[in-house]
């Protein structure tokens, strides 16, 4: 978000080096708004504005810039100032930012930080991307069971500003094992009896995430249980970090966007659309386009197998895209419905029988609906199609008056002749039903493939969103051609 | 989520009518887990379990069931008990639940509630779906500027359990106008000087939502500013409600799912996949399948226009699905990228020039990549294709040895002869480039259409997710055919 409303004023204040107004600007608004108004400035101007406010406030504003802007500002600043600024960010934001700056800048900055912060950065860095460990902040305040409610309240009063969350108090034992939690709400009502120990007040059934849990699972858990934050523990249930609700919203949005991209056969982007280079984006699209292209090539080979049939019954050709896209569209509808239902836990693999039944019924309904339209269309198109006339005593002749030209194809050979005759007769009977019947079967094949494939990929542990769509498209394209040609052979007998 | 782990034990406790164990079960765990374990029970069994715990806890557990289960349980219970249970739900959950029960049950339940609750339900009911008003809870605690920090703290201590959020204290004047807010954090640090008035401590730059704001906008605002809750005000900036972070996560997930469905040409569902009836689902898919079908019919008509060209150069036919799907796939990639970037505010309509340039460059890169593959494929397929031989002194003959059969087509007429001769010559030269060149142009047309249409729909105020995809597909299918046939005519000269 860039808001250009105050840019002229800001630039004027900078030109006048107006300390009073600039320092007021930095604190007057919520830091996210200040960041919005500053986002239009160059990184040099931003570092000038920062001279007029204290480091805490600087890092607060910095945290609301997008990653790219943060990197620019940090690279612009004097190394000492930059190190201080980065140090004051939340541990998780800090690590994310440091991963983006140039390697040498990163080394210099880390070298300038206190040993404790340095260790923390290295620890967080070791967790694989998309795990709870990579997502968490290590800035979690711990309380002991023997502390009284009043003592806890006093500690909060003194330090509230420094805590990542004050909404849950996590209680650990001497070896840092998570023992329980007291919510701020419980603490407040606990003040009626201020000598009470946290150990008596705490809930012991604490929902926690493991450091190696997938971030999507963590987000689902937090969302399902309406939590404000979730503690992160290691294998021995030691409290190592905390994930807060705002990180969860980000993950939910990120995962949803990734799913949407995967469904459209784009490898998920690491950055926003405009920040991603054209080459990276081409690569992330190209790999899937190539896979889809190979599937389509198989369709072309399949069509080649039916060359003689298509030449004899040329009127089948214009319907090819219609058949394929009807199957593909219904398949992609099913796949998307199943993928989103799986990711929101509305269904699980064990519901497969119910899902498949529903999809087949829907396939039948949708197929019959489209077939009705298809029947009208084939009636119209076949009736305007030139007929093959084959009197028994002379070679079959095809007379076409298409496009204002007249040309005649003369076929010889008994076999062909009798076949052509057969076609002439059947055109008036069953040909109209080739496209409609194919549509019913192809749409059912589409809903079946589109629903079964995501379930199979989920079952074998692959991401249904990533794997399903190209395969659904590929399978349906080829199946569509085979069904179409088989129905044509069956009904028209070529 | 249904967890069947404890079902046998629960049923045994019910059979024994074991009050001690059942009441322990209802309070031992986080209500969301208790709900998970109970979700496998029938609504009759659930209402039995509920007899063993107090109303507050009942409504807590009830709030974690999915909507359908809630409706079942409420309908199962004695009306008085049900009214009490519903009354204890959060105001927003209450209204959502009441909207789902049968009309007569709803009337009876509302009649049994206190006047204040009844008024509240009617008020919330009046806001249109998907607005901040429909999403908010009216259960917001208000403080006055003249209250001291200590008084506020005491009030919280007494009532913390009853508040929807204790993380922000909203300060209003005598006429309920929102004046400012004090965060729990500020209140805690404010305790260093307990006689201070809230009016001195409060932030006056409060971010608020308007009752009629779209829920997606509200969710975006909360996510962007990392808020725990956002106050909802009316036109006169009177504080009428509150939206909390958990509702925001739900909206983010709901909107993302809706976008995914719209991109896949499914009208968004009001309920989860399995809860939606097959007929409703068929309708929500059928309307878009029909629109797509009509687009595909236009493609069929377009193909019919090129009948004579396709008959003469039959080898063009098998590539039709390939051409169409390459354009369609690259178009749907672009459309999805732009739609998701728009909905996450990564781009806006004013970036159109940048977006279009990027997409054209990408279209060129992707098109050239696919064209390379296409060149190999056409080399292979045209080389294995039967040739048309046309010596000048005899009719053109096409000899095909496809599928083990031999048949000969004899063409007469000077115009045709010369054209067939021309084809025979050019096949060795330019024919191999028809498919590759078409691919480059079609993929560029795809990326262009896929990026421009969502921007246009956003500009004119239509939902880009809903409107773009069918149109992108329809336009690209027809464009693909026209480009293909034009390139063929140009290069091979038919």
CATH of the domain at A110: 1.25.60.10
Domain assignment present for residue A478? The answer is yes
State the residue for tokens 């969301």: B32
> DSSP 3-state assignment of A103?
helix
- The beta-carbon neighbor of B292 closest among A188, A282, A325 is A325
Number of domains observed in the structure of chain A? 3
| B107 CB neighbour count, 10 Å cutoff | 12
> DSSP 3-state assignment of A178?
strand
| H runs (alpha helix) in A39-171 | 43-50, 55-62, 67-76, 79-87, 91-98, 103-111, 115-125, 132-135, 149-159
Residue after which a domain boundary falls, among A249, A265, A287: A249
pLDDT bucket at B307, cuts 50 / 70 / 90: confident
| H runs (alpha helix) in B347-413 | 352-383
Q: Which of A167-176, A309-318, B378-387 is predicted with the least confidence, judged by mean pLDDT?
A: B378-387
pLDDT bucket at B180, cuts 50 / 70 / 90: very high
Residues in A closer than 8 angstroms to B218, CB to CB, are none
Question: Phi, psi at residue A413, to the nearest 5°?
Answer: 100, 125
Element (H, E) at A411: strand A407-411
Structure-block tokens of residue B84: 């009490």
Can you tell me the distance from the alpha carbon of A298 to that of A292, in angstroms, rounded to the nearest whole number? 10
Over residues A229-252, the pLDDT tens digits come to 899 999 889 999 999 888 888 888
pLDDT bucket at A396, cuts 50 / 70 / 90: very low
pLDDT bucket at B426, cuts 50 / 70 / 90: very low
pLDDT bucket at B161, cuts 50 / 70 / 90: low
pLDDT score recorded for residue A467 = 65
Q: How far is CA A333 from CA B103, B231, B253, B285, B362, in A?
A: 33, 38, 19, 7, 27
The pLDDT > 90 percentage for chain A reads 20
Does residue A429 share a domain with residue A290? yes
Task: Give yes or no for residue B443 having a pLDDT over 60.
Answer: yes
Domain assignment present for residue B260? The answer is no
Closest CA to B25 of B12, A170, A231: B12
pLDDT bucket at A268, cuts 50 / 70 / 90: confident
Task: Give yes or no for residue A398 having a pLDDT over 60.
Answer: no
Structure-block tokens of residue A222: 């937090």
Domain assignment present for residue B267? The answer is no
pLDDT score recorded for residue A164 = 63
Question: Phi, psi at residue A270, to the nearest 5°?
Answer: -85, -25
CATH number of the domain enclosing A167: 3.10.580.10
According to DSSP, the residues that pair with B178 across neighbouring strands are B172
Does residue B159 share a domain with residue B44? no
pLDDT score recorded for residue A412 = 43
Torsional sign, CA A364, A365, A369, A372: positive
Can you tell me the distance from the alpha carbon of B269 to that of A305, in angstroms, rounded to the nearest whole number? 42
Does residue B84 share a domain with residue B170? no
According to DSSP, the residues that pair with A407 across neighbouring strands are A400
Does residue B435 share a domain with residue B290? yes
Can you tell me the distance from the alpha carbon of B157 to that of A165, in angstroms, rounded to the nearest whole number? 19
Q: Which residue of B has its CA nearest to A248?
A: B249
Domain assignment present for residue B261? The answer is no
Does residue A150 share a domain with residue A105? no
Structure-block tokens of residue A336: 């998307």
Q: What is the mean pLDDT of chain A?
A: 82
pLDDT score recorded for residue A403 = 38
Can you tell me the distance from the alpha carbon of B331 to that of B444, in angstroms, rounded to the nearest whole number? 9
Can you tell me the distance from the alpha carbon of B282 to that of B211, in angstroms, rounded to the nearest whole number? 34
pLDDT bucket at B304, cuts 50 / 70 / 90: confident
Task: Give yes or no for residue B423 having a pLDDT over 60.
Answer: no
Query: Would you say how long chain A is, in residues?
Result: 494
Domain assignment present for residue B89? The answer is yes
- Residue A219 near residue A255 (C-beta atoms within 8 A): yes
Across the interface, whether the CB atoms of A321 and B403 are under 8 A apart is answered no
Can you tell me the distance from the alpha carbon of A342 to that of B287, in angstroms, rounded to the nearest whole number? 24
Residues in A closer than 8 angstroms to B268, CB to CB, are none
Q: Which residue of A has its CA nearest to B257?
A: A340
| A363 CB neighbour count, 10 Å cutoff | 28
Residue after which a domain boundary falls, among B229, B246, B263: B246
Task: Give yes or no for residue B327 having a pLDDT over 70.
Answer: yes
Domain assignment present for residue B137? The answer is no
Does residue A381 share a domain with residue A295? yes
Q: Which residue of A has its CA nearest to B271?
A: A346
- Residue B202 near residue B171 (C-beta atoms within 8 A): yes
Q: Which residue of B has its CA nearest to A470?
A: B329
Does residue A232 share a domain with residue A147? yes
pLDDT score recorded for residue B159 = 73
- Residue B209 near residue B231 (C-beta atoms within 8 A): yes
Across the interface, whether the CB atoms of A369 and B289 are under 8 A apart is answered yes
Comparing B437 with A275, which gets the higher pLDDT? B437
- Residue A227 near residue A181 (C-beta atoms within 8 A): no
Q: How far is CA A103 from CA A78, A106, A118, B215, B299, in A?
A: 16, 5, 15, 42, 54
Does residue A284 share a domain with residue A244? no
pLDDT score recorded for residue A393 = 44
pLDDT bucket at A405, cuts 50 / 70 / 90: very low
Closest CA to B214 of B461, B24, B468, B492: B461
pLDDT score recorded for residue A408 = 37
pLDDT score recorded for residue B404 = 35
- Dihedral, CA of residue A299, residue A304, residue A306 and residue A311, to nearest 10: 120
Can you tell me the distance from the alpha carbon of A120 to that of A118, in angstroms, rounded to the nearest whole number? 5
State the residue for tokens 């990711």: A343
* Cβ neighbours of residue A194 closer than 8 Å, sequence gap 6 or more: A148, A149, A150, A153
- The beta-carbon neighbor of A293 closest among B158, B226, B373 is B373
CATH number of the domain enclosing A463: 1.10.357.20
Residue after which a domain boundary falls, among B228, B246, B264: B246
- The beta-carbon neighbor of A336 closest among B260, B381, B413 is B260
Task: Give yes or no for residue B400 having a pLDDT over 60.
Answer: no
Structure-block tokens of residue B449: 């259409």
pLDDT score recorded for residue B438 = 95
pLDDT bucket at A442, cuts 50 / 70 / 90: very high
Across the interface, whether the CB atoms of A166 and B160 are under 8 A apart is answered no
- The beta-carbon neighbor of A310 closest among B264, B317, B324 is B317
Can you tell me the distance from the alpha carbon of A191 to that of A125, in angstroms, rounded to the nearest whole number? 40
Q: What is the mean pLDDT of chain B?
A: 82
Closest CA to B297 of A436, A373, A316, A434: A373
Task: Give yes or no for residue B62 having a pLDDT over 60.
Answer: yes
Over residues A56-102, the pLDDT tens digits come to 888 889 988 888 888 888 888 888 888 888 888 888 888 888 888 88
The pLDDT > 70 percentage for chain A reads 87
Mutate to test the interface with A, among B26, B285, B302, B410 (most CBs of A within 10 A): B285
Task: Give yes or no for residue B419 having a pLDDT over 80.
Answer: no
Write the ipTM: 0.72
Can you tell me the distance from the alpha carbon of A47 to that of A26, in angstroms, rounded to the nearest whole number? 12
Over residues B341-368, the pLDDT tens digits come to 888 888 888 889 999 999 999 999 999 9
- Residue B245 near residue B251 (C-beta atoms within 8 A): no
> DSSP 3-state assignment of A404?
helix
Mutate to test the interface with B, among A63, A137, A156, A226 (most CBs of B within 10 A): A226
Domain assignment present for residue B196? The answer is yes
Mean pLDDT of A331-344: 88
How close, in Å, is residue B327 to chain A by CA atoms? 10
Does residue B154 share a domain with residue B121? no
pLDDT score recorded for residue A410 = 41
Domain assignment present for residue B235? The answer is yes
Can you tell me the distance from the alpha carbon of A390 to that of A396, in angstroms, rounded to the nearest whole number? 4
Q: How far is CA A285 from CA A52, A268, B366, in A?
A: 45, 9, 8
CA angle B274–B276–B281, rounded 5-degree value: 110
pLDDT bucket at B388, cuts 50 / 70 / 90: very low
Across the interface, whether the CB atoms of A296 and B322 are under 8 A apart is answered yes
Structure-block tokens of residue A139: 């800035």
Structure-block tokens of residue A194: 């201020």
Comparing B233 with B130, which gets the higher pLDDT? B233
Comparing A356 with B135, which gets the higher pLDDT? A356
Does residue A111 share a domain with residue A71? yes
Does residue B404 share a domain with residue B436? yes
- How many beta-carbon contacts under 8 Å exist across A and B? 407
pLDDT bucket at B144, cuts 50 / 70 / 90: very high
State the residue for tokens 């178009």: B331
- Strands (E) across A212-367 are located at 229-233, 239-244
Task: Give yes or no for residue A161 having a pLDDT over 50.
Answer: yes
- The beta-carbon neighbor of A322 closest among B225, B296, B369 is B296
> What angle do helix axes B19-28 and B43-50 make, rounded to 10 degrees?
100
Does residue A293 share a domain with residue A229? no
| H runs (alpha helix) in B17-148 | 19-28, 31-38, 43-50, 55-62, 67-76, 79-88, 91-98, 103-111, 115-125, 132-135
| Domain extent at residue B119 | 7-126
pLDDT score recorded for residue B356 = 94
Closest CA to B303 of A322, A260, A80: A322
């Amino acid at each position: 978000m860039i808001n250009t409303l105050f840019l002229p004023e800001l630039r004027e204040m900078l030109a006048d080096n107006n300390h009073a107004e600039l320092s007021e600007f930095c604190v007057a608004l919520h830091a996210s708004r200040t960041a919005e108004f500053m986002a239009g400035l160059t990184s040099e101007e931003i570092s000038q504005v920062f001279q007029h406010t204290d480091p805490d406030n600087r890092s607060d504003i910095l945290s609301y810039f997008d990653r790219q802007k943060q990197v620019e500002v940090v690279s612009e600043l004097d190394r000492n100032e930059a190190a201080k600024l980065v140090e004051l960010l939340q541990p998780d934001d800090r690590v994310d930012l440091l991963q983006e700056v140039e390697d040498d800048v990163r080394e210099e900055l880390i070298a300038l930080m206190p040993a404790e912060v340095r260790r923390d950065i290295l620890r967080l860095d070791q967790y694989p991307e998309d795990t709870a460990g990579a997502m968490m902040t290590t800035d979690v305040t711990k309380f002991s069971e023997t502390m009284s409610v009043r003592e806890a309240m006093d500690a909060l009063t003194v330090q509230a500003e420094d805590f990542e969350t004050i909404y849950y108090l996590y209680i650990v034992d001497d070896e840092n094992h998570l023992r329980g939690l007291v919510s701020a709400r419980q603490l407040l009502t606990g003040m009626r009896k201020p000598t009470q120990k946290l150990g008596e007040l705490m809930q012991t059934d604490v929902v926690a995430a493991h450091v190696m849990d997938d971030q999507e699972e963590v987000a689902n858990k937090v969302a399902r249980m309406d939590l404000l934050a979730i503690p992160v523990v290691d294998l021995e249930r030691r409290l190592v970090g905390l994930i807060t609700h705002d990180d969860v919203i980000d993950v939910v949005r990120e995962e949803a966007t990734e799913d949407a991209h995967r469904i459209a056969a784009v490898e998920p982007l690491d950055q926003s659309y405009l920040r991603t280079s054209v080459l990276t984006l081409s690569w992330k699209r190209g790999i899937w386009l190539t896979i889809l292209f190979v599937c389509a090539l198989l369709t072309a080979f399949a069509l080649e197998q039916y060359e003689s049939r298509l030449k004899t019954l040329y009127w089948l050709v214009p319907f090819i895209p219609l058949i394929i896209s009807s199957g593909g569209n219904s398949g992609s509808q099913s796949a998307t419905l199943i993928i989103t239902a799986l990711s929101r836990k509305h269904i699980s693999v064990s519901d497969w029988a119910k899902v498949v039944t529903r999809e087949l019924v829907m396939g039948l309904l949708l197929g019959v609906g489209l077939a009705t339209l298809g029947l009208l269309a084939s009636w119209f198109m076949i009736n305007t199609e030139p007929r093959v006339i084959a009197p028994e005593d002379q070679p079959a002749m095809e007379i076409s008056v298409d496009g204002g030209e007249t040309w005649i194809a003369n076929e010889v050979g008994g076999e062909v002749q009798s076949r052509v005759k057969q076609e002439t007769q059947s055109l008036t009977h069953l040909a109209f039903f080739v496209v409609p019947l194919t549509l019913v079967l192809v749409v059912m094949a589409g809903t079946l493939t589109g629903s079964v494939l995501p379930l199979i990929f989920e079952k074998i542990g692959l991401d249904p969103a990533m794997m399903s769509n190209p395969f659904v498209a590929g399978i349906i394209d080829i199946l569509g051609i085979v069904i179409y040609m088989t129905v044509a052979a069956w009904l028209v007998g070529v």
